[in-house]
């Protein structure tokens, strides 16, 4: 966190919690994580400085997030011109191996 940053963060509540599909906010009634026991659970989510989730509810009904897909980005051309659409797509997501290797 720093002055001028987006203020997007999640506050977690430490303690054992068992995942229950019925308690999740999802379009389906199942979860592959149903029955998993976790050591922490989200207590609150702040997006752009606005509390959008707290203690199991969504206090700001008018708030709507923005879906951003940064999985792929266009690589910059050598001449710096970003208007070309024929640039290859480059994956930007890091996998577990990258994290484990400290990359």
Number of domains in the chain: 1
Q: In the predicted model, what is the mean pLDDT of residues 80-92?
A: 49
Domain assignment of residue 101, yes or no: no
Distance CA 42, CA 24 (A): 12
Domain assignment of residue 82, yes or no: yes
CB 20 within 8 A of CB 34: yes
Q: In the predicted model, what is the mean pLDDT of residues 30-56?
A: 90
| Angle ∠(45,34,97) on CA atoms, nearest 5 | 70
Domain assignment of residue 59, yes or no: yes
Q: In the predicted model, what is the mean pLDDT of residues 86-91?
A: 48
CB 16 within 8 A of CB 37: yes
Domain assignment of residue 18, yes or no: yes
Return the CATH number at 20.
2.30.40.10
pTM: 0.52
Domain assignment of residue 2, yes or no: no
- Residue numbers of the domain that contains 88: 9-95
CB 36 within 8 A of CB 19: yes
């Amino acid at each position: 966190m720093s002055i001028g940053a987006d203020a997007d963060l999640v506050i977690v509540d430490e303690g054992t919690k068992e995942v229950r599909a019925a308690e999740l906010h999802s379009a389906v009634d199942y979860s592959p994580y149903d029955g998993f026991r976790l050591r922490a659970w989200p207590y609150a989510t702040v997006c752009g400085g606005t509390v959008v989730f707290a203690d199991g509810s969504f206090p700001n009904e008018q708030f709507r997030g923005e879906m951003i897909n940064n999985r792929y980005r266009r690589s910059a051309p050598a001449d710096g011109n970003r208007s070309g659409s024929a640039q290859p797509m480059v994956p930007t997501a890091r996998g577990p191996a990258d994290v484990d290797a400290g990359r």
